[in-house]
């Protein structure tokens, strides 16, 4: 078995700049009792003409301008007595998902067996994902299984702590089995991995090339300031097998690794059924391409996860909502099947669904790479849009 050396694809941080205007947290939906904007009108750029806060039942739009680029933003105030409803399941009329589980893995610091094996000083992607799942989508901290290169540390999220454990193969596979026992038919499960991806020609495999997540059983030697331990591999077939017999089919897989699309074995046999229950697969890059790094210091980030999670889902670190809001059609203007006729708000409703975060990140990477060096992939077997959680201002059907 020949395992390809893990890829390291760096770009200078100064080359990765937000060059497009972005709406600020003020672009959202307000309750009928609110009388002023909440937060900045523009997150990036400047407002061309200061808007007047709308009265109940109306909307107001403005443009955020940066150089020659313009972004249209909208704020809407609910009509008095109006209680919008939106399905957290993506299926009209379905009940809310109250049982949510996540396995979150982020590895930057690897054992020093190979030159340039480290991605960054310490993981930040798993930190950002943990906070997004808890604060934006309501995942209980007790149901988030966190594994990082900084073991037995904790991540603080909205006043609660999530303990991080060593990112070894045994720990990760045990966590998957734990979630399998705890998750029921209507549970929501998220599996997130940020780290190295590797490829190999495995003897007896039916695939031309197998992919694996590179993990390790290492422990940091503080005296030598390095990680010591052994590399371990979670192969695509192994991951597929352990996820095959979950009671719920509503599982979202997110991989920020080189060759990430190659982990799509987990989607085999799980197409959408008549109830709209299905899996979602998101990869930071195509099967034959590398994934790039946004930052390499403390709490370093992958380029895709930076835009998908930190900016797209969370925006100003969770203040005002994610910047991806409005990148997909979850706005009230098209939600008419349930009998409501909401005013059009161009998709901006305070909710960031998986598809919006993906489209936002894909657009950002498209601006950075002129030759499609890194192109994210979405395989979506879920009817309508997948909302992992719901905003407090909404009543869930």
Instruction: Please indicate, yes or no, whether residues 64 and 117 belong to a single structural domain of this protein.
Output: no
Average pLDDT, the chain: 75
98/32: higher pLDDT: 32
Per-residue model confidence (pLDDT) at position 219 = 60
Given pLDDT bands bounded at 50, 70 and 90, which one contains residue 334?
very low
Least confident of 28-37, 272-281, 369-378: 272-281
Instruction: Please indicate, yes or no, whether residues 254 and 140 belong to a single structural domain of this protein.
Output: yes
What average pLDDT does range 5-24 have in this prediction? 54
Residue 240, pLDDT > 90, answer yes
Contact between residue 52 and residue 26 where contact means Cβ atoms under 8 Å apart: no
Residue 354, pLDDT > 70, answer yes
Distance of alpha carbon 61 from alpha carbon 265, whole angstroms? 44
Residue 196, pLDDT > 70, answer yes
119/88: higher pLDDT: 119
Given pLDDT bands bounded at 50, 70 and 90, which one contains residue 53?
very high
Instruction: Please indicate, yes or no, whether residues 63 and 130 belong to a single structural domain of this protein.
Output: no
Instruction: Please indicate, yes or no, whether residues 295 and 171 belong to a single structural domain of this protein.
Output: yes
What average pLDDT does range 166-173 have in this prediction? 92
343/180: higher pLDDT: 180
Per-residue model confidence (pLDDT) at position 348 = 58
Least confident of 151-160, 236-245, 322-331: 322-331
Instruction: Please indicate, yes or no, whether residues 69 and 96 belong to a single structural domain of this protein.
Output: no
Domain span including residue 383: 92-325+352-396
91/373: higher pLDDT: 373
Given pLDDT bands bounded at 50, 70 and 90, which one contains residue 340?
very low
Residue finishing a domain among 64, 82, 100: 82
Tell me, what CATH number does 231's domain have?
3.40.50.1460
Contact between residue 20 and residue 65 where contact means Cβ atoms under 8 Å apart: no
Per-residue model confidence (pLDDT) at position 62 = 92
Instruction: Please indicate, yes or no, whether residues 174 and 31 belong to a single structural domain of this protein.
Output: no
183/32: higher pLDDT: 183
Per-residue model confidence (pLDDT) at position 355 = 83
396/144: higher pLDDT: 144
Instruction: Please indicate, yes or no, whether residues 70 and 104 belong to a single structural domain of this protein.
Output: no
The answer to whether position 332 is within a domain reads no
The answer to whether position 183 is within a domain reads yes
The answer to whether position 389 is within a domain reads yes
Instruction: Please indicate, yes or no, whether residues 62 and 145 belong to a single structural domain of this protein.
Output: no
Residue 195, pLDDT > 70, answer yes
98/67: higher pLDDT: 67
Encode pLDDT of 123-151 as tens digits.
889 999 999 998 888 889 999 999 987 66
Per-residue model confidence (pLDDT) at position 271 = 62
Which of these, 358, 308, 343, 348, lies nearest to 326 by C-alpha position? Answer: 348
Per-residue model confidence (pLDDT) at position 316 = 58
Contact between residue 385 and residue 354 where contact means Cβ atoms under 8 Å apart: yes
Per-residue model confidence (pLDDT) at position 234 = 94
Q: pTM for the full model?
A: 0.72
177/5: higher pLDDT: 177
Residue 158, pLDDT > 70, answer yes
The answer to whether position 233 is within a domain reads yes
Residue 220, pLDDT > 90, answer no
The answer to whether position 223 is within a domain reads yes
Instruction: Please indicate, yes or no, whether residues 34 and 163 belong to a single structural domain of this protein.
Output: no
Instruction: Please indicate, yes or no, whether residues 169 and 26 belong to a single structural domain of this protein.
Output: no
The answer to whether position 276 is within a domain reads yes
Instruction: Please indicate, yes or no, whether residues 46 and 193 belong to a single structural domain of this protein.
Output: no
* Beta bridge partner(s), residue 3: 200
The answer to whether position 304 is within a domain reads yes
Per-residue model confidence (pLDDT) at position 86 = 37
The answer to whether position 62 is within a domain reads yes
Residue 397, pLDDT > 50, answer no
Instruction: Please indicate, yes or no, whether residues 47 and 163 belong to a single structural domain of this protein.
Output: no
Least confident of 76-90, 270-284, 349-363: 76-90
Encode pLDDT of 250-295 as tens digits.
899 999 999 999 999 998 876 655 444 578 899 999 998 998 888 7
Per-residue model confidence (pLDDT) at position 393 = 34
Percent pLDDT > 90 in the chain is 25
Q: How many distinct structural domains can be found in the chain?
A: 2
30/328: higher pLDDT: 30
């Amino acid at each position: 078995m020949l395992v390809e050396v893990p890829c390291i694809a760096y770009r200078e941080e100064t080359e990765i700049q937000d060059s497009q205007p972005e709406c600020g947290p003020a672009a959202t939906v307000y309750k009928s009792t609110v009388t002023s904007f909440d937060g900045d009108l523009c997150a990036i750029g400047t407002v061309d003409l200061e808007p007047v806060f709308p009265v109940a039942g109306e909307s107001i739009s403005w443009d955020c301008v940066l150089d020659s680029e313009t972004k249209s933003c909208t704020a809407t105030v609910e009509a008095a007595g109006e209680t919008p409803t939106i399905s957290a399941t993506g299926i009209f009329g379905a009940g809310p998902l109250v049982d949510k589980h996540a396995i979150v893995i982020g590895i930057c610091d690897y054992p020093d067996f190979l030159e340039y094996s480290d991605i960054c000083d310490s993981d930040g992607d798993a930190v950002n994902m943990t906070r997004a799942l808890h604060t934006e989508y309501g995942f209980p901290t007790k149901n988030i299984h966190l594994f990082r290169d900084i073991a037995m540390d904790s991540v603080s999220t909205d006043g609660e702590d999530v303990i991080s454990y060593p990112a070894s193969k045994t720990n990760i596979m045990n966590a998957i089995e734990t979630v399998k026992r705890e998750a029921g038919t209507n549970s929501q499960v998220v599996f997130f991995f940020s780290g190295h991806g590797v490829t190999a020609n495995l003897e007896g495999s039916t695939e031309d090339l197998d992919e694996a997540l590179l993990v390790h059983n290492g422990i940091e030697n503080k005296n030598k300031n390095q990680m010591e331990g052994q590399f371990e591999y979670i192969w695509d077939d192994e991951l597929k097998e352990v996820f095959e017999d979950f009671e719920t089919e509503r599982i979202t897989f997110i991989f920020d690794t080189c060759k990430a699309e190659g982990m799509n074995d987990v989607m085999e046999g799980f197409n959408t059924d008549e109830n709209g229950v299905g899996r979602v697969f998101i990869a930071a890059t195509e099967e034959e391409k590398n994934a790039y790094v946004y930052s390499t210091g403390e709490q370093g980030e992958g380029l895709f996860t930076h835009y998908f999670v930190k900016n797209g889902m969370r925006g100003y670190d969770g203040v005002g909502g994610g910047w991806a809001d409005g990148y997909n059609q979850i706005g009230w203007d098209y939600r008419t099947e349930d009998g409501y006729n909401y005013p059009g708000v161009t998709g901006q409703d305070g909710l960031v669904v998986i598809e919006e975060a993906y489209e936002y990140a894909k657009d950002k990477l498209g601006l950075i790479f002129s030759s499609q060096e890194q192109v994210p992939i979405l395989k979506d077997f879920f009817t309508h849009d997948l909302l992992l959680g719901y905003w407090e201002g909404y009543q869930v059907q």
